[in-house]
Amino acid sequence: MLNALRGGQSSVRFVTGFMTVVLHVLPTKDFSRNGCNKSAGDAHLVEYSVAALGPFQAQTCLIQRTYFNKCFRIKSGTSNEISRLYDPFLKKTQRRMTTCLCMPTQVLACPATDAAVINSLEVVIGGNEKLFQCRADDNPLVNIPTLGSLRGSQMVSASGRKFNAFRGIRYAQPPVGDLRFSDPIPAKPWAEILDATKEGPACLQVDLLTKVHVGQEDCLVLNVYSGKVGVSENPLPVMVWIHGGGFTTGSGGSETDFYGPGYILDRDVVLVTLNYRLGSFGFLSTEDKEAPGNYGLLDQSLALKWVRDHIHHFGGDTDSITIFGESAGGASVEYQVLSPRSKGLFHRAIAQSGSTRCPWAHQKSMGEYTRILAKDVNCPTTSSKELLRCLRTKDVKEILDSKLKMGLPVGLGLYPVAFVPRVDAEREFPFLPDTPERLVANKQFNQVPYIGGLTENEGGLFAASLATVDGVGMKEFKKDPVKNVLYALAMENQKGGLQIAQKVYDHYFSNVKTDADIISQYGELSSDVEFFKCVDDSVKALSQHNESPVFYYHYAHRGQTSLVKILDLPKDSDFGVSHADEILLMFPNFLLPRISNPNDLKVSQMLLDLWTSFAKDGIPQSEHVVDKWLPTTHGKVRYLQIEADNPKLVNDSMPFQSKLAFWNSLLTAGKEEL
């Protein structure tokens, strides 16, 4: 479109699903008195004529177009003098002193055509406060017979492949009012063409770093990215990403989180990302039938059902769906594997740095935390029905703030966790009818090929929370170090928990002399019990009882960047190959530039090869890995060492195995069930 305008045409007319738009380019020099900054790129004055509004009205704004990593970044300003009413048919122009209302916007992915520069501009037409999204005819349109039609946008992958993006698709009804703290209900069909060009909001949460409220309660949406549109004779494998964040933070978005599609869509797969309810909104429970909890996991399961039922309309293969996730997303993947509610909804699973057995991934004392929250917001606690009736009327801010007032330690990464998954045997059709240990031992789980694994220094991210320049984390830890260990173990309400925490503190911290020693040992503690032991236990148990292969990996690539670098840390801080570092090579995100380091590029390609080949046929392989990745089996542990220089299959126990003897003896002596 802009090419035609630059080629000498003074105007171009096109028809969208909503309106007819006539674009006019006028010389920039004619508009020296305006509020738009035109110093950083070639500027075009574009006049919009919208025929669908009745009286022909147009708004005129200066669009500044600049380039950023070969992608467009668009900014729009305001003008007090250049707006006009325009009748394109009568060739008459009326000048009117009004404000040109162009909403600021930004495109984070490369648009497929120049028209996308115009398409991404939102315009308030004629001052009537109705927001329109202008878009070109080449934007993809999908019709789902049982739901409705939706129009997406086009994006470009890291290597320049065009693909289709359908974002902000509602898969469940808004979980508000009486549906708060309730099982999700499938979304209703829609009549008009759904605008699927933007991501939906994140679910309600408190930002871990800023403590600012983020997101909305009406958040149950998913995003579909595919190189195809419509039912295909050769459908693509589907990969469904479940985000992490300790079941308290995060989203499936590329603009609100870390999960852009640009790297994975270099491969022939369909990628789906999703939101699910978090914190108390996703996991609060009264420990009875009134509120069994696990709503966030049920959200995930309903999203998977949506994918199974509808992904063929986006070129996806309904018989080849792989779920994958990291941290709490990895634990969520395993929960879906264990749940009878998700039987038949997927065919393969990848759990990165997370397990149902990790201390932060389950909670036995949910009822007590629910009552604490209810009291804090002045709700009755004598009856579950009355408690829920009251909580459903409360403003979301009150509920979010309450989590910060519950007397729990703060400033230590993901710890502690009050509202997370639990055994919900009270539910008529439980999501998790028994403990993960017993479900696996009794082979009561979905028998699918499985990949599980860890990074070399998982606890580095959490040790970094003690090392920030402001010193908040360290001060919090020093107030009561044993109590902090107690909460890190999720044993605050367990009989004998304090004695166990004291033994753990003595084991890890008895010889510390400096803050640097504390930080180092806290990283060791976090790695060992929060990730190494629980993931190792899960992989070994699944390999013993799963009729499908179980693959194990150890991620040891030290990349150019790390997630810990988003924290305000002293210069030259080094926390090794930390938690979540691998996802930076799997997903482009808004915080970091694209991968450019040769070793990072190699490992990124390796990860994407392994994961997408597994999604295709259950056999993980890459041209960058010479060894065949063999599964681990009962009595024979083997894992793939993922690194740039020498990726290889190791026929031995994990490097951290010797450190787990302490935990095996300690927790065997005092273990309680989930």
* Max CA distance (Å), the chain: 88
Instruction: Check 47, 326, 334, 458 and give the catalytic one.
Output: 458
Alpha-carbon distance of 662 to 491, in angstroms, equals: 17
Say whether 83 is catalytic: no
Tally the C-alpha atoms within 13 A of residue 315's C-alpha that lie toward its C-beta. Answer: 18
Alpha-carbon distance of 615 to 246, in angstroms, equals: 25
Instruction: Check 579, 582, 604, 643 and give the catalytic one.
Output: 579
Q: Please list the residues that pair with 71 across neighbouring strands.
A: 68
How many C-beta neighbours within 10 Å does residue 442 have? 10
Say whether 582 is catalytic: no
Instruction: Check 49, 153, 327, 562 and give the catalytic one.
Output: 327
How many C-beta neighbours within 10 Å does residue 659 have? 15
Burial 85-106 (b: 16+ CB within 10 A, else e): bbebeeeeeeeeebebbbeeee
Say whether 327 is catalytic: yes
Of 128, 54, 50, residue with least CA distance to 88: 50
**DSSP per-residue string spanning 283-336:** H---SSTT----HHHHHHHHHHHHHHHHGGGGTEEEEEEEEEEETHHHHHHHHH
Q: Are strands 316-326 and 348-352 parallel, antiparallel or unpaired?
A: parallel
- The residues, any chain, with a CB within 8 Å of residue 51's CB and separated by 6 or more, are 19, 20, 22, 88
Helix, strand or coil, per DSSP, at residue 350: strand
Cα–chain center distance at 203: 10
Helix, strand or coil, per DSSP, at residue 489: coil
Of 102, 125, 105, 100, residue with least CA distance to 117: 105
Q: List the catalytic residues.
A: 327, 458, 579
